[in-house]
């Protein structure tokens, strides 16, 4: 079976932050892990260009919207090398001809079923969410919502309430379980029809025009959700209809992916998504890291200072499946030094030294099934923890067998066991740290101690 993993696509009203890097790295691990197991894999990410907030941000920057969007979208695409990403496709929704044609096709499919109608509407609008909310303050951003009156096209979401509920109860997997329960509660409380367009005049014409109604542009969320299928073209059957798909998204947009997206697909007569994995937020001193809040930690700055292995390892080892996680550079350094430099790196250096300069070949250890099980549950902490446990167990083997005191065949047998364990560890580590896993078999300092580097940098900058 083929495996298709996709992140949400990012707003480009500001530069990337570490919270989105979490999502990219998680999806990358899932893709690399399945490739390692010999499966056909497609990994897609991209940028959500048509948001009204991009129009506002471009105006504030004093540049044309197209120029502003193109420049910021390039920043997100440029994360590929610094974060060691392996995505197969990157979609920019304002310029990708596949997307523009696909969105229009989906809209017409729903229109043919009579699932749109036009009406005036007044409600509370959150610019951060690009959505109407039910209260004067947005619960996601904690900001006061704007009262907006518009005449828009509405989608008959209520028509699909029973089918969406049935799919969520039986067909669509949502992890973790607490998020599934949250969505089920929302759907069981009743679904109202939703606005799916905006006046073109409000966005200065930015966005994808509603077919046969140029006075309106398609609501950014309808447009954005469609990206998961608009890029597939002739390979739709392989990756969507017949394969396994996973959406990797943040908890703030679960309603769009787990309720509105299935309803859109039902309306268009297309198969539903199979799995939605919802990650939590990263925080700094307890406050959410996000573009809209202005609280940002640049993943490029972190990689430049500590390296990609340290950042990826922290993103995969620290955040839990439930509950936000506070990021600090001190925690990143501690985790990298204790588990990479003093753990993985030290083990490989010991075995290399005992074996005369290289890691011997030998029978592997049982590790793959534990990693497989953890990643089936989207438990990156448990998967990386299994690798750490294997490192600790192999170090204990060195201490109990004391190969430096052995000779002949007995010594050779122990070194072969140690080499096989190390090679298994490097193999299973590769989806998590592709560069580090490639280096560790041959470099004595594959994972240098970051605390030493930090102290050196501080000393050199002292007056």
Residue where the block lists tokens 């067909």: 171
Higher pLDDT, 288 or 225: 225
SS3 230: helix
Q: Please give the pLDDT value at position 287.
A: 79
CA atoms of 180 and 185, how far apart (whole Å)? 9
CA atoms of 292 and 253, how far apart (whole Å)? 14
Residue ranges of the chain assigned to CATH 1.10.730.10: 329-461
Q: Please give the pLDDT value at position 429.
A: 98
Tell me what the mean pLDDT of segment 181-190 comes to.
Answer: 98
Tell me what the mean pLDDT of segment 176-180 comes to.
Answer: 97
Q: How many CB atoms lie within 10 A of CB 104?
A: 17
Percent of the chain with pLDDT over 90: 82
Position 459 confidence tier, pLDDT thresholds 50, 70, 90: very low
Tell me what the mean pLDDT of segment 289-309 comes to.
Answer: 82
Q: 436 CB contacts (<8 Å, ≥6 apart)?
A: 309, 340, 344, 429, 446, 447
Residue 138: is its pLDDT beyond 80?
no
Position 126 confidence tier, pLDDT thresholds 50, 70, 90: low
Report the relative pairing of strands 116-126 and 131-133 from DSSP bridges: antiparallel
Q: Please give the pLDDT value at position 174.
A: 98
CA atoms of 380 and 460, how far apart (whole Å)? 37
The structure tokens listed for 430 are 């590769």
CATH number for the 329-461 domain, one of 1.10.730.10, 1.10.110.30, 3.40.50.620, 1.10.3720.10? 1.10.730.10
Q: Nearest-CA neighbor of 121 among 132, 110, 113?
A: 132
Tell me what the mean pLDDT of segment 9-24 comes to.
Answer: 92
Tell me what the mean pLDDT of segment 364-386 comes to.
Answer: 98
Residues 228-286: tens digit of each pLDDT: 999 998 999 999 999 999 999 999 999 999 999 999 999 999 999 999 999 999 998 87
The structure tokens listed for 259 are 């309720």
SS3 136: coil
CA atoms of 250 and 214, how far apart (whole Å)? 33
Q: Please give the pLDDT value at position 164.
A: 98
Q: Please give the pLDDT value at position 14.
A: 83
Q: How many CB atoms lie within 10 A of CB 448?
A: 17
The structure tokens listed for 383 are 């998967």
SS3 30: helix
Q: Please give the pLDDT value at position 285.
A: 82
Residue 149: is its pLDDT beyond 90?
no
Residue 70: is its pLDDT beyond 80?
yes
Q: Please give the pLDDT value at position 267.
A: 98
Q: How many CB atoms lie within 10 A of CB 157?
A: 19
Residues 46-69: tens digit of each pLDDT: 999 998 888 888 999 999 999 999
Higher pLDDT, 13 or 127: 13
Q: How many CB atoms lie within 10 A of CB 349?
A: 17
The structure tokens listed for 202 are 């409000």
CA atoms of 232 and 105, how far apart (whole Å)? 13
Model confidence, pTM: 0.92
Q: How many CB atoms lie within 10 A of CB 415?
A: 20
Q: Nearest-CA neighbor of 220 among 256, 254, 192?
A: 256
Q: How distant, in Å, are the alpha carbons of 23, 37, 333 from that of 310? A: 16, 25, 7
Higher pLDDT, 127 or 232: 232
Q: Please give the pLDDT value at position 106.
A: 97
Report the run of H or E that residue 13 belongs to, with start and end: none
Position 462 confidence tier, pLDDT thresholds 50, 70, 90: very low
Handedness of CA 434, 440, 443, 449 (dihedral sign): positive
Q: Would you say domain 3-279 falls under CATH 3.30.565.10?
A: no
Strand ranges, E, within 96-191:
116-126, 131-133, 146-155, 173-175
Residue ranges of the chain assigned to CATH 3.40.50.620: 3-279
Q: Please give the pLDDT value at position 91.
A: 97
Q: Please give the pLDDT value at position 84.
A: 98
Q: Please give the pLDDT value at position 425.
A: 98
The structure tokens listed for 236 are 């739709």
Residue 129: is its pLDDT beyond 70?
no
Q: Which of 9-13, 221-225, 325-329, 417-421 has the lowest average pLDDT?
A: 9-13
The structure tokens listed for 120 are 């005036």
Q: Taking the CA of residue 370 as centre, how many other CA atoms within 13 Å lie in the half-sphere pointing to its CB? A: 17
CA atoms of 271 and 265, how far apart (whole Å)? 7
Q: Nearest-CA neighbor of 239 among 228, 254, 224?
A: 228
CA atoms of 114 and 184, how far apart (whole Å)? 26
Residue 289: is its pLDDT beyond 90?
no
The per-residue pLDDT of the chain, averaged, comes to 92
The structure tokens listed for 172 are 């669509």
Tell me what the mean pLDDT of segment 90-108 comes to.
Answer: 97
């Amino acid at each position: 079976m083929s495996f298709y993993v996709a992140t949400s696509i990012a707003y480009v009203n500001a530069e990337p932050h570490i919270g989105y890097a979490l999502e990219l790295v998680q999806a990358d691990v899932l893709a690399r892990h399945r490739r390692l197991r010999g499966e056909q894999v497609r990994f897609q990410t991209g940028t959500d260009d048509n948001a009204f907030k991009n129009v506002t941000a471009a105006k504030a920057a004093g540049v044309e919207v197209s120029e502003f969007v193109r420049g910021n979208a390039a920043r997100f695409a440029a994360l590929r090398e610094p974060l060691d990403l392996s995505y197969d496709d990157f979609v920019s929704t304002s310029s990708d001809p596949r997307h523009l044609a696909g969105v229009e096709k989906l809209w017409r499919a729903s229109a043919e079923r009579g699932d749109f109608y036009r009406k005036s509407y007044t409600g509370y609008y959150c610019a951060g969410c690009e959505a109407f909310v039910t209260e004067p303050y947005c619960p996601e951003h904690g900001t006061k919502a704007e009262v907006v009156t518009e005449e828009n096209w509405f989608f008959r979401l209520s028509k699909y309430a029973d089918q969406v509920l049935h799919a969520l109860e039986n067909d669509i997997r949502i992890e973790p379980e607490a998020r599934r329960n949250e969505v089920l509660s929302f759907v069981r409380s009743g679904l109202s029809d939703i606005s799916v367009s905006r006046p073109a005049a409000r966005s200065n014409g930015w966005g994808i025009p509603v077919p046969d109604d140029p006075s309106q542009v398609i609501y950014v969320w309808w447009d954005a959700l469609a990206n998961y299928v608009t890029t597939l073209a002739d390979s739709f059957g392989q990756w969507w209809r017949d394969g396994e798909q996973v959406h990797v998204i943040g908890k703030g947009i679960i309603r769009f992916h787990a309720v509105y997206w299935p309803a859109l697909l039902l309306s268009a007569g297309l198969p539903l998504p199979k799995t939605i994995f919802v990650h939590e937020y990263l925080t700094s001193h307890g406050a959410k890291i996000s573009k809209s809040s202005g609280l940002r930690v640049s993943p490029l700055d972190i990689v430049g200072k500590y390296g990609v292995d340290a950042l990826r390892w922290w993103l995969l080892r620290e955040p839990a499946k439930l509950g936000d996680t506070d990021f600090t550079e001190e925690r990143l350094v501690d985790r990298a030094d204790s588990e990479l430099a003093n753990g993985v790196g030290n083990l490989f250096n010991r075995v290399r030294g005992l074996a005369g300069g290289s890691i011997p070949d030998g029978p592997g250890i049982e590790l793959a099934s534990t990693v497989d099980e953890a990643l089936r549950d989207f438990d990156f902490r448990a998967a990386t923890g299994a690798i750490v446990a294997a490192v600790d167990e192999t170090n204990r083997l060195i201490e109990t067998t004391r190969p430096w005191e052995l000779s002949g065949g007995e010594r050779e047998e122990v070194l072969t066991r140690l080499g096989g364990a190390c090679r298994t560890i490097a193999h299973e580590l590769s989806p998590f740290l592709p560069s580090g896993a490639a280096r560790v078999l041959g470099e004595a300092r594959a994972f240098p101690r970051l605390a030493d580097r930090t102290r050196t940098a501080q000393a050199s900058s002292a007056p």
